[in-house]
Structure 1
């Protein structure tokens, strides 16, 4: 790579703080919080020292279960400075999902907020870790989670068994500068620094291991595609636990000395207000977010004249929405990005100066130093332009692998280093790609990836369910909704509500089937394979979703 940034996370932040010390780094207008890059660098040093004092060191796994609070960004760099691996936890998760991730990731430390939407995180942690009530902060001894020692509460007044976040900085005061310097010096850019969980066809989430080098260079190239400089100010309403928030958001900014202006939990008016108040030049979002902003009754009253760019991604982008964002939000240089967690995450992106038809109808071309090819699903042979096949990518962006899952890793990355995305695409002669479908029937609902197998496995545990098939059906607002075709056990009866109630509180709300249909049989191939695409076609007719199905996306 000719232009690779060869930094660790700490090295990157120190370099930017030297070059743009007085630039805004992190701004939360509603909290009255504003850190310059100099202040932000110093703060992350203090928190990094506190982590060392807590016993967290290189290679340890630190989980964070929180909305877009300031501490999230601080911890991303504080863990990065000492080589601890940040494990990001989806804010919508419930008890079973949290327990699985804490166990599978071998997390030693968990940072958490009080809760989000209808989930009380503190109560949920209490369910998963009953020993917490009677344990001393920092000395947890959990039968189910033997690695987990520290729970740190992001908020005032720590619950039983937890340490308050403020304590971390105070602990850091007891650590010498030389100790932090030694920890930083022991790091290398190709070491794993970030672990994000992505579900798979196996039905259980897999920990994608990403290095300093993976995410810093991906963030830098993403920012380059938006023509970012130290004068840009990005409104970030997408969640940090996704690569969309922490790479396309945080790292696209930090690699350019730009200002990060997060929105803690998405609210369309909060985004409009933030853009106006902070004169943001760019804004990110999944299509549903942009739709909610454009359709907000107060949309016209906000001044969005400073906007120029940003990214729409996370799920297929309706062409009409893209045009409205360009026209009505002043985002004349908005871009579309495509990728997946396993590729740090962006593989292709449109450029600010691409003609409008390419910017609304494709997901762009490969980022610099990234190879992309389309291969035949049956033979694996490379296909010429205009032919549909599986999109594969190779380069600095490919993950180290899935944590503790070598066979899964070998299935995803072939012997020549190509990552197989599982997505169907067509590439034109200039390298611009259109995503045309998914080999494995993944559902993308409002930017959330949902894997049918995971929900199917869960619904099989219902006492009345004999068989279940989960698939996506078109939806105007979210792109897709989850539908379940359920076969009941002989002699049992059940209602749609009963199935939904069984899911509530046990799996994330966005995974709960929106539609439930009871069936006696499934459409099959001659060899006995269930045809989910036929179930989808039937649902489109029965539920009159033809209009949603016809929406054109890139």
Structure 2
């Protein structure tokens, strides 16, 4: 079922008497250089424009009708099999909001810092914080005490909510901290107790507007210092609406989703802590990712949908053996947060021909989304693409030397405009001005091109391009070549400084157990498939490629590792 048929979405039409302003095939306007979305939501399903609508009110308004909410399961804990219905979830959100407001004095504009792995309580915490008009900021539990302290200070957090095993990282900050659950030997108040002890009460009217800040999400900082991305209620509501549309055109209300994406990340927050509740589906929740547990969960709970990241898809290609698990219930796997190579995508489709694989594109600064595939036929025909622009999104491909907006098949920096684009970076006017221009265009920093059917292809991060003898080499392209070899389980390519060439590509690889693949063999394997200026010049063997929680390669760590090895030889 196509998106145009599935949710009252229609191809954009010009008013009668007007000439089309852009090409109906690619979405490209030759006069302005702007790519337009080829799909428009109907009046019934458009993004709400009510100025006083906030995120929590919007999400709760999409819950199943009370007659269904008592029996419809919202969440299942994989470890304990505990189930939470939509009725119970609503009650917990309202109870916690009551406790935060009346017992703890949390008010509009207060920043609440959340430090916890995935849990059944995570969505309740997020929606309760937003219900009282407070601002949500989330952090990776793997962050160090120093990193946690920096984020608490930078965000101006007034209250922290933390898993018991993480609370020690918050002690030096002095911020009041509420535990998610109370250990038996601790007298501290916990979220669980607050929910149990507080009956939902009518809260004083909190005057919120869609332009108010709802969240401060910290970028991964893979190429620079982490910055606080200011996301408004309009940003979240826009994405919630588009997520509901994308789920409704591809799934049914009886579908079961699997969550292992961390909810502190924009991908997990938008999908699992907020968005999927708008579609009334069931989510099986993993606290932390484990590959075998994922396969068990698909079989046990008859999972249909998995929003995933490229390393997980690569693992399914490389590590699943025929007959070890019954994965026939699986119908759809999405890929986001990092580029998915054509080689890995093709390998997945060959191994799991009954599963639809759809890649999307987004970033924290666009509230986690921008492009999407509405049909499997499109995705198969354009392996390696990230899909078409979502409704409400426009784009430009800008030559980063001339500033000229480019037509299809010309590579440049991707610029985006949408109601989902962030307000800016917290306390950093210089970075905001460098990222969002005076007309509201978001400079993504990603090198890309559109084809003549309006499908987006991400080449690489501009900052990560390797400059070799005046040529630009995309690490992602070389990584895709490396991963096509059966003895290479994972790979990352980084720049190494070189006096003659400026930079040379170096590959770090994870090889299969017992492999005798040598550095020279790997270099020759890549050289046989790419232009001479692109070939890998050095190879390092490593036990695991360092990645962020969202699956992005942490190239800075590998660059540091390569520098340490050079110094150790001096």
TM-score, length-normalised on structure 1? 0.74
Partner residue, 2:499? 523
Q: Which moved more, 1:42-51 or 1:302-311?
A: 302-311
Please say if 1:125 is aligned against 2:176: no
Mapped contact 1:47–1:172 kept (Cα < 8 A): yes
Return the offset for 1:329. 4.2
Q: Which one of 84, 88, 97 corresponds to residue 35 of structure 1?
A: 84
Distance 1:310 1:415, change over 3 A: same
Mapped contact 2:256–2:282 kept (Cα < 8 A): yes
SS for the counterpart of 2:157 is coil
What whole-Å deviation, never above 9, does each CA across 1:358-383 have from its counterpart, x for those lacking one? 44221111111100110110122210
Partner residue, 2:420? 397
Mapped contact 1:235–1:261 kept (Cα < 8 A): yes
Return the offset for 1:542. 6.7
**Separation in structure 2 between the aligned mates of residue 367 and residue 206 of structure 1, nearest angstrom:** 26
Partner residue, 2:192? 166
Return the offset for 1:67. 1.1
**Separation in structure 1 between the aligned mates of residue 462 and residue 353 of structure 2, nearest angstrom:** 36
Return the offset for 1:296. 4.1
Structure 2 unaligned spans of 5+:
1-40, 467-474, 484-488, 510-517, 531-570
Return the offset for 1:18. 4.6
Partner residue, 2:150? 100
SS for the counterpart of 1:255 is helix
Return the offset for 1:71. 1.5
Mapped contact 1:268–1:296 kept (Cα < 8 A): no
Mapped contact 1:305–1:330 kept (Cα < 8 A): no
Mapped contact 1:349–1:363 kept (Cα < 8 A): yes
**Separation in structure 2 between the aligned mates of residue 124 and residue 246 of structure 1, nearest angstrom:** 22
Mapped contact 2:115–2:139 kept (Cα < 8 A): yes
Return the offset for 1:482. 6.8
Return the offset for 1:386. 0.8
Structure 1 unaligned spans of 5+:
116-120, 130-141, 143-147, 444-470, 486-520, 526-530
Partner residue, 1:55? 105
Distance 1:481 1:353, change over 3 A: closer
Partner residue, 1:419? 442
**Separation in structure 1 between the aligned mates of residue 108 and residue 98 of structure 2, nearest angstrom:** 12
Higher relative contact order (CA 8 A, sep 6+): 2
Return the offset for 1:292. 2.6
Return the offset for 1:29. 3.6
**Separation in structure 2 between the aligned mates of residue 478 and residue 209 of structure 1, nearest angstrom:** 34
**Separation in structure 2 between the aligned mates of residue 478 and residue 50 of structure 1, nearest angstrom:** 47
What whole-Å deviation, never above 9, does each CA across 1:375-427 have from its counterpart, x for those lacking one? 11012221011111000000111001111112211111101110000110011
Partner residue, 2:47? 4
Return the offset for 1:242. 1.1
Distance 1:331 1:257, change over 3 A: farther
RMSD: 3.2
Partner residue, 1:344? 367
Matched length: 453
Mapped contact 1:221–1:252 kept (Cα < 8 A): no
Please say if 1:82 is aligned against 2:94: no
Mapped contact 1:307–1:330 kept (Cα < 8 A): no
**Separation in structure 1 between the aligned mates of residue 259 and residue 56 of structure 2, nearest angstrom:** 22
User: Which residues in structure 2 correspond to 1:65-464 (within 5 Å)?
Assistant: 65-115=115-165, 121-126=166-171, 128-129=172-173, 142=174, 148=175, 150-157=176-183, 162-170=188-196, 172-173=198-199, 177-178=201-202, 180=203, 182-183=204-205, 185-200=206-221, 203-226=224-247, 227-296=250-319, 300-329=323-352, 332-441=355-464
TM-score, length-normalised on structure 2? 0.72
**Separation in structure 2 between the aligned mates of residue 367 and residue 168 of structure 1, nearest angstrom:** 40
